[in-house]
Structures are given as C-alpha cells and as structure tokens.
Amino acid sequence: MHAPSLLFIGMFSFVLGAPDAGAQPMPPSAPGPALTGAQPLPLTGGRRAAFEAYVADAVDRFGIPGAAVAVVENGEVVYLNGFGVREMGSTRPVTPDTMMMIGSITKSMTTMLAASLIDDGKLGWDTRLVDLLPDFSVGNEALTARLTVRDAFCNCSGVPGLNMQSSFESGRMTPETVVGSLAEVAPAAGYGEAFIYNNLLIASGGYALGVANGGAAGDFGLAYDLALRERVLGPIGMTRSTFDPEAAIAGGDYALPHAVDLSGNLHPLPLTAERGLLPYRPAGALWSNAREMARYLQTELARGVAPDGTRVVSADNLEATWAAGVPVPNLYGGPPEMAATMTHYGLGWMSGAYRGLRVVSHAGGSGGFTAEIAFMPEAGVGLVILSNSLALRPVPLGFEYAVEMRLFELLFDQPAEFDADLAAAGEALAAARPAPSLGKVEPDAVAPYLGRYDNEALGEVSLTLREDRLVLDAGELGSELRPRTDGGAERVYLLHDPPLSLFSEAYEATVTFSGEAGERRMTITIPASVTGPEEIFVFTPRPPGAG
C-alpha cells in the first residue's frame, strides 16, 4: 500500500495520493442498503453518547496521542470535543482550540480561493497558468501551453510530483523555485488518463491565484497568503488559522506531531520536521483547529455562505470544485465502503458516496499530523477530524475513517459493521505486505561508505556511524538506515525513522551501496507506481575540501 498524499506534503502524496501500484479501481457498488434521499438523525442523546464513546475508544485502540472532532448538522456545530493529549507522555489535553496541521485539506481552501476570484472576474477556470506565471512550465511544451487553473488542481495532468526531491530539497525551496520545479518533468501519463497526485503543480496553481488577486509576482508566498486571508480565512472567521508556525504555537495550545517508525514505534517529532512544507503551502501547510475547521465545514455545507451570513463564494463555482473528475483507485487498501467515498478526484476534493448518499471529502497528512474532512451536501451533515499522529498500518488514516464511518452509521441508523471490516482489511494488507524484517548494521561492512555525498536532484547528504547506528543526514531531515534481512543476497537498507521512513514504507524506497575507494556509490531506488516511473538517485562522494 502507499500512503495518502501525505503532505509531508504529500510529498508522499500525503497529504496526503500515492496509491499502490497494484491497487484496483472500486467495484461498481459497495455493500449495504441504498440510502438515497435519506436524511440524518440528530446527533443527540444515545447517538451522541455512542459516538463520543466510540471516538474515545478509537483514540486508544489506534494509538493516537490526541485528536479533535467537530460535527456539523443542519448548519449548526452539534459536536465539538478534544480527546487525548497534545504530546505523548504529557497530561496536556487536546481541546477544540488545539492547533494542528491540516495537511492536504488546505487544497480545498485554495480551490475555494480560486472560485472566489472567478466570481469576481479576475480569472477563469480555463485561464492558462503561463498567463499568470510566465516562468511556469512542465517537461512537455504542448502540455505547458494548455495547462489551466482547473488543471493545476485536478491531479489529472499526468505529470508526476517529484516527491523525494521535494522532501530532500525543501530547505532550499521557495515559492518561486516551486513554480519552476516541474520544467524538466515529463508526463508519466496522458492528460486526463490517470490520477497522479502532484503537490508542486497544486502549489503553483495556488501561487497563480495570488498573482491574479493583484499580489506581487516577485513574492508568490506573500501574494497567496494575503489572498487566502482576504477571501477565505477572514470572511469565514478563521482568525487563528495560519501558515506561520510561530503564530500557530504562540498561544500555547498546540499539539506536537508524532509518527511511527519502521519498527512500529511511535515517536514525537520536532516542529522543525514540518517547516519544510512552507514552500508548498497552497497544497498543504495550514495550521488550524477543530473550532475553526467547523466554521469552514459550515461554509462548504451552506454552499459558500459563512456562519455569520457572509457570502464567501458563489454556490456554482464552489460546487464546481466538488464535481467528480479523474477516477481514483483504492488509495488506502481499505474496505470497499471506505473506498466508495473516494472514487473520483475533483478540484481539491474527493467525491464518492456512502450507500447512495453523495460524499465530498479530503484527507490531510504531514510528517506527523493527519486530518479528514467529509460532508454530505444533500444530507447537510459533515465532520472534521484532526489528530497529532501519522501511521500507515494497519490501514493509512484508519482512525479517521473509522470515526467518519461510525458517525454515518449512527446518523443513518445502520449496523455497526465498518469497524470490523476495517480490522479485516488491515489484516489482509499486513498479510499481503508484511512489515520488513530488520537487522543490525555491520560496522566493518559500511565503514568504506561513510562520508559526504552529492546527487544532482537531491543535493548533499552525509553518512555517519553513530555507535551502532548508520545515519543518513540530509540537513533538514535525517534517518537511521537499517538493513533488511529479507532483501536477498544484496544488502539492502531502509529508511527507518520518520518522516523519511515513509518513503520506505509507502514507496518501498531502498538504499544500497556499491564500488570501492574512488568508485563508491550510494543509491536510493523508488520502484515504479501509479505516481510515476521508477526513480534511481545515484550519490557520488563529495570531493575533499568541498564546501
């Protein structure tokens, strides 16, 4: 299985969009009776108590340090609560105001911004990106000339997203270099033929919106930030939501990110692990909380009208972002009912159905936060879930979807079946792709390869032996390398520590060494998947005396 667009930024695309190469499209229908036209029961009394008890139990069962949940029904916030703690081992509780990263849910706010600008005639869905960003291009001249604002957000361009490059080079990236980063990336599929998640393209589209709003072309980040604040966050009343990590943590009520390593152990991550997302922020770097995300959900359900009655965006252009686009395979390997809610990608939104009721949703993931927003436009109900943990097993985003589906079961008086189905799916995934067997480093075997290396695409890294740990240091990020004992005759190493471990777990990335003396090489290999062809990054020793 592959991770969601993990917006580390979905650089594991996670938010966060990186389905397994063998994942299959959904069957025509999922199990359960048709509920077409049904209206939800109120989340009150026994249903409310059952939902709250379920979330509390799920936090414990899934090993989530903390989470916050909001439910909107008939235009009102009917449930808002925090569970667990902000950091594992602490006693500080998560509250509805605890700030966390929402990952790729940011994309839907970026497309709401686009819809607002279209309302005001500042651009159209078919405005070409090069007309707003003259320096933008992809590795195909004809495709560059045709890509539009709509295409920036549809994940249907066929252009891969440079997931590993985006991660390793994040410390040197700026919004301006993001816009130019796809210039040599050729399409991996024809336009409109395949779902290929591309955070760099989505981020470029967001920066084009800042320019269309009148922002300075020399500072794409500021132009986008101001446009989103002016047209989306401000009118909705999301006063604390921000891209600035310092502002997010200034009030003290914030959670730390956590992630699971390849050995299955959960670790808190430093906040600096998330800062590399800022250059790509239209695709997934917003900090928010459950209280403000509930206001955003209310605005979506009210078809563009904020809770205070302010019209943020027209219903027509907002609903254009929900429309089903390119088909999506079963991203997470979850049960059919889970995958049925995500059968197509629109513009910053997934679309599908729960037993005949339309569902619009999007997951979010960064290095150590996950999130989910889902709503039923016709039924007038939805929820937001924020958590401070990222794990791909037993099923990616299993906690979020377990909570979502339990809410749907309660509101539509359905049997409590999904939890068991999810557990069975997790067992099937574990059997099909068991966790790798890891051994210990042999110091004598790796000693010839220690030192500093360069790769044109990924930059400089260093390889050191710290006691019995072999450590790859990429500057902003690093990871211990552990040899796998089931890798055959060739000694194969995996990235063990989060967030880089996600490349080995989600994309099956491996590290190998070859050559002697002046011929030393370190190679990182990522097998082909639906996100793009096989990638091979060969590192050569950095010359002595190099800076």
371, 98 contact by CB (below 8 A): no
pLDDT above 80: residue 295 = yes
- Which CATH architecture best describes the domain 45-432? 3-Layer(aba) Sandwich (3.40)
DSSP string for residues in 357-397: EEEEEEEEE-SS-EEEEEEETTTTEEEEEEES-B--SSSTT
Contact 501, 495 (CB under 8 A): yes
Of 192-206, 454-468, 527-541, least confident by mean pLDDT is 527-541
In the predicted model, is pLDDT for residue 215 greater than 50? yes
Please report which confidence band the pLDDT of residue 367 belongs to, taking 50, 70 and 90 as the band edges: confident
> What pTM did the predictor assign?
0.92
- CA–CA gap between residue 456 and residue 437 (Å, rounded): 31
Q: What angle is formed at CA 15 by the lines to CA 260 and CA 76, rounded to 5 degrees?
A: 105
Q: What's the rounded mean pLDDT across residues 98-114?
A: 98
Q: Which residue has the higher pLDDT, 408 or 171?
A: 408
- Sign for the CA dihedral angle at 458, 533, 4, 469 comes to negative
> How high is the pLDDT of residue 23?
39
Q: Which amino acid is at 153?
A: F
Tell me what pLDDT residue 14 has.
35
Q: Which residues are paired to 77 by β-bridges?
A: 72
Name the residue among 404, 265, 387 with its Cα closest to residue 335: 404
> Would the pLDDT of 139 be above 60?
yes
Say yes or no to pLDDT of 232 above 90. Answer: yes
Which pLDDT score, from 0 to 100, does residue 170 have?
Answer: 60
Supply the pLDDT for residue 488: 61
The mean pLDDT value for 442-464 works out to 92
Nearest to 106, CA basis, from 210, 12, 199, 195: 199
The more confident residue out of 20 and 287 is 287
pLDDT value at 10 more than 60: no
User: Could you read off the pLDDT of 413-425 as tens digits, one per residue?
Assistant: 999 999 999 999 9
Alpha-carbon distance of 1 to 195, in angstroms, equals 16
pLDDT, the chain, mean = 90
Band (477; pLDDT cuts 50, 70, 90): confident
DSSP characters over 185-251? ---SS-TTTS----HHHHHHHHHHHHHHTT--TT-HHHHHHHHHIIIIIHHHT--S-BS-HHHHHHT
Q: What's the 3-state SS for 485-516? A: CCCCCCCCEEECCCCCHHHHHHHCCEEEEECC
Q: Of 101, 56, 25, 11, nearest to 371 (Cα)? A: 101
Give the percent of the chain with pLDDT over 70. 91
Q: 3-state DSSP helix/strand/coil percent for the chain, to nearest 5?
A: 35, 20, 45
CA dihedral defined by 241, 247, 253, 257, rounded to 10 degrees?
A: 80
Least confident of 169-173, 348-352, 450-454: 169-173
pLDDT above 50 for 443: yes
The pLDDT value given to residue 238: 98
Q: What is the per-residue pLDDT for 531?
A: 60
Range in 203-207, 236-240, 483-487, 500-504 the model is least confident about? 483-487
Cβ atoms of residues 231 and 225 within 8 Å: no
d(CA 371, CA 192): 27
- Beta carbons of 318 and 116 less than 8 angstroms apart: no
What average pLDDT does range 164-178 have in this prediction?
Answer: 79
Lowest mean pLDDT among 8-12, 97-101, 305-309, 372-376: 8-12
Kindly tell me if the per-residue pLDDT of 355 is higher than 90. yes
| Mean per-residue pLDDT, 159-171 | 74
What's the rounded Cα separation, in Å, for the pair 94 and 546? 47
Which element (helix H / strand E) includes 455? Answer: strand 451-455
Cα(195)–Cα(189) distance, integer angstroms:
9
Q: Is the pLDDT of residue 169 over 90?
A: no
Query: pLDDT confidence of 356, banded at 50, 70, 90?
Result: very high
Q: What is the DSSP letter of 348?
A: S
* CA pair distance 5, 507, nearest whole angstrom: 12
The confidence score (pLDDT) of residue 546 equals 65
Q: Dump pLDDT digits (tens) for 256-285.
A: 999 999 999 999 998 887 878 899 999 999
Residue-wise pLDDT for 489-499, tens only, equals: 568 999 999 88
With residue 469 as reference, give the H or E element that holds it: strand 469-473
Task: List, for residues 496-522, the tens digit of each pLDDT value.
Answer: 998 889 889 888 899 999 987 678 999
Mean pLDDT score, 53-74 = 97
- Residue pLDDT, tens place only, 19-32: 333 333 333 345 67
Asked if residues 99 and 255 have their Cβ atoms less than 8 Å apart, the reply is yes
